[in-house]
């Protein structure tokens, strides 16, 4: 059983058949950290120490640590249920081969893709490396083979688990046209009918909030965890004639701790403030009157906050670049008397508490199901909107580059001309906007981008014009306020 310990709401110990809070504190299972319990509720000290050490062993992302922890937990469950109650410390290659037969080649609901299987193998390999270093295993329990791979420095030999599968070719990325996005958003999230009219059977209560979250993803390319964990104080200001719409994705949230700046369309920036000032504020005031925030345990009281840092009630200043997701969920604004006035977390659920990434995934799944029931074939996930941003932004940046060079947009280019046009411009800028470590990663969309913000902002202006053109052609009932 894989659990997370958290003090932002009910304790993970509340889910257990015994009071484990003191035990968890003693063994170092701090807030937001996954831990594994055996079928009888026992806590394996060494196995859970491995989970706590993942960050020091190169698994930097919180999502990756959760994925690795889940993979190890599932393997432990398989050993217990299908291998005569074996512990992971007694496993061998025959166990892993049997697990592969079920997990990768079986026909049950637990069957996974090659990519997911290889991640599971990587998690177990990391456990093997750590356990050998800690002298908890006498030898490698699995078989490893040498394999030649092509690296940027040329061919080299690496040692891989024999149970790993060859990588499958990357599938074409999924993305939406602007018109398809609006149709999916309005039908799936806002509860309209495909013709744009209201659906009398719609019973959703958070359609505008959910649609706004989707708007934020598709116009910034933010990852799900980054957008989910935003604080109200990090929103761009909307005063003045020109709204820049810049949001800093802090190092504590970004993949591989690579901070970057993304840009929100002016209308979305204004809608975010509208949500904070009206819908969200009304919810917070109701929950505050009910005493929800005073009852929160483990809260971090905040006296003041600006766009870059906050001051805790103790007077300590804390930069957003150092505040991770778990601590962000515990931030509560307090007044001069120390009374809690509401969370700093931007996206709140009906209980007035922070919405987690898993909840947003459920929101998208229900939106797809609603569209399907109305005859619309959509399979949209939060990452689909990130891909959509990348494809549209690259197209806009290329158009801007063509204009900057004084060329006609309908001109046909030779391969050499296209290469010269792209290298050092749009792909590098796109890499920076998406927060990818390597430029080659964005070759999927086409390739390149530099730090010239004027071109990025001009492209966003173009996107505003494109969006306005589409929306003016749609029924008035679809106007998004």
Whether 193 has a pLDDT exceeding 90, the answer reads yes
At 405, is the pLDDT very low, low, confident or very high (cuts 50, 70, 90)? low
Q: What is the mean pLDDT of residues 58-72?
A: 85
Q: What mean pLDDT is reported for the chain?
A: 81
Q: Are strands 340-343 and 331-334 parallel, antiparallel or unpaired?
A: antiparallel
* Size of the chain, expressed as the number of residues it contains: 481
170-204 as b/e: b if 16+ CB within 10 A: eeeeebbebeebbbbbbbbbbbbeeebeeeeeeeb
Residues 6+ apart with CB under 8 A from 227: 213, 216, 217, 220, 382
Question: What whole-number distance in Å separates Cα of residue 465 and Cα of residue 300?
Answer: 42
Q: What is the mean pLDDT of residues 441-466?
A: 49
Q: What is the mean pLDDT of residues 68-73?
A: 94
Least confident residue range of 6-10, 179-183, 431-435:
6-10
Residue 475 has a pLDDT of 44
Whether 318 has a pLDDT exceeding 90, the answer reads yes
Tokens 């993970």 correspond to 12
At 479, is the pLDDT very low, low, confident or very high (cuts 50, 70, 90)? very low
Residue 446 has a pLDDT of 45
> How confident is the model over 203-229, as pLDDT tens digits?
888 999 999 999 999 999 999 999 999
Whether 426 has a pLDDT exceeding 60, the answer reads no
Higher local confidence (pLDDT), 146 or 7: 146
pLDDT-above-90 percentage for the chain? 50
* Domain at 202-374: CATH code: 1.10.443
Least confident residue range of 119-133, 206-220, 245-259, 419-433:
419-433
Residue 9 has a pLDDT of 34
Cβ count near 434 (within 10 Å): 23
Q: φ, ψ for residue 2 (rounded to 5)?
A: -100, 125
Least confident residue range of 46-55, 192-201, 322-331, 418-427:
418-427
> How confident is the model over 18-30, as pLDDT tens digits?
455 666 566 555 5
At 453, is the pLDDT very low, low, confident or very high (cuts 50, 70, 90)? very low
Residue 464 has a pLDDT of 59
Tokens 């509340």 correspond to 14
Most confident of 282-286, 396-400, 409-413, 428-432: 282-286
Residue 460 has a pLDDT of 53
Whether 114 has a pLDDT exceeding 80, the answer reads yes
Measured CA angle at 150 (ends 113, 111), to 5 deg: 5
In 3D space, the residue among 292, 333, 297, 339 whose CA is nearest the CA of residue 312 turns out to be 333
Question: What whole-number distance in Å separates Cα of residue 167 and Cα of residue 278?
Answer: 49
223-252 as b/e: b if 16+ CB within 10 A: bbbbbbbbbbbbbbebeeeebbbbbbbbbb
Whether 305 has a pLDDT exceeding 90, the answer reads yes
Q: What is the mean pLDDT of residues 40-66?
A: 87
Higher local confidence (pLDDT), 452 or 381: 381
Whether 295 has a pLDDT exceeding 50, the answer reads yes
- Are 280 and 268 in contact by the 8 Å Cβ rule? The answer is no
Residue 167 has a pLDDT of 72
Residue 451 has a pLDDT of 36
pLDDT-above-70 percentage for the chain? 73
Domain boundaries in the chain? 2-139, 202-374
Alpha-carbon separation of residue 64 from 61, 71, 256 (angstroms): 5, 10, 11
Higher local confidence (pLDDT), 88 or 13: 88
Residue 27 has a pLDDT of 58
Whether 420 has a pLDDT exceeding 70, the answer reads no
């Amino acid at each position: 059983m894989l659990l997370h310990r958290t003090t932002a709401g009910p304790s993970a110990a509340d889910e257990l058949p015994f009071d484990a809070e003191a035990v968890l504190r003693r063994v170092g299972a701090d807030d937001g950290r996954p831990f594994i319990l055996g079928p009888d509720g026992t806590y394996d000290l060494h196995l859970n120490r491995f989970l706590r050490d993942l960050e020091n062993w190169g698994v930097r992302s919180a999502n990756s640590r959760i994925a690795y922890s889940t993979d190890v937990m599932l393997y432990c469950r398989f050993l217990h249920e299908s291998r005569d109650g074996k512990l992971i410390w007694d496993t061998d290659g025959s166990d892993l081969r049997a697990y592969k037969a079920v997990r990768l080649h079986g026909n049950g609901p637990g069957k996974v893709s090659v990519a997911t299987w290889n991640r599971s193998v990587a998690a177990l390999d990391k456990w093997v490396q750590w356990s050998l270093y800690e002298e908890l295993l006498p030898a490698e329990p699995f078989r490893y083979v040498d394999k030649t791979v092509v690296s940027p420095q040329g061919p080299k030999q690496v040692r891989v688990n024999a149970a790993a599968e060859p990588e499958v070719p990357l599938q074409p990325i999924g993305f939406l046209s602007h018109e398809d996005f609006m149709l999916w958003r309005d039908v799936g999230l806002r509860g309209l009918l495909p013709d744009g009219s209201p659906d009398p059977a719609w019973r959703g209560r958070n359609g505008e909030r959910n649609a706004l979250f989707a708007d934020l993803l598709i116009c910034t390319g933010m990852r799900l965890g980054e957008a989910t964990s935003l604080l109200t104080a990090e929103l761009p200001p909307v005063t003045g004639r020109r709204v820049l719409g810049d949001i800093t994705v802090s190092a504590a949230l970004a993949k591989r701790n690579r901070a970057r700046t993304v840009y929100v369309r002016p209308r979305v920036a204004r809608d975010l403030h509208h949500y904070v000032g009206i819908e969200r504020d009304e919810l917070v005031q109701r929950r505050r009157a009910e005493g929800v925030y005073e009852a929160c345990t483990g809260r971090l009281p905040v006296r003041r906050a600006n766009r870059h840092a906050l001051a805790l009630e103790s007077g300590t200043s804390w930069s957003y670049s150092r505040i991770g997701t778990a601590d962000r969920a515990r931030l509560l604004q307090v007044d001069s008397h120390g009374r809690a006035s509401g969370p700093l977390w931007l996206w709140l659920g009906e209980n007035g508490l922070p919405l987690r990434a898993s909840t947003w995934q459920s929101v998208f799944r229900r939106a797809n199901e609603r569209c399907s029931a109305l005859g619309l074939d959509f399979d949209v996930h939060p990452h689909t909107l990130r891909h959509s941003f990348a494809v549209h932004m690259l197209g806009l940046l290329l158009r801007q580059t063509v204009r900057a060079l004084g060329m006609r947009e309908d001109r046909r280019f030779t391969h050499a001309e296209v290469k010269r046009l792209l290298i050092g411009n749009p792909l590098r800028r796109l890499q920076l906007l998406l927060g990818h470590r390597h430029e080659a990663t964005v070759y999927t969309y086409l390739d390149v981008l530099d730090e010239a913000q004027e071109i990025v902002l001009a492209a966003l202006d173009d996107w505003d014009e494109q969006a306005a053109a589409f929306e003016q052609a749609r029924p008035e009932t679809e106007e998004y306020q």
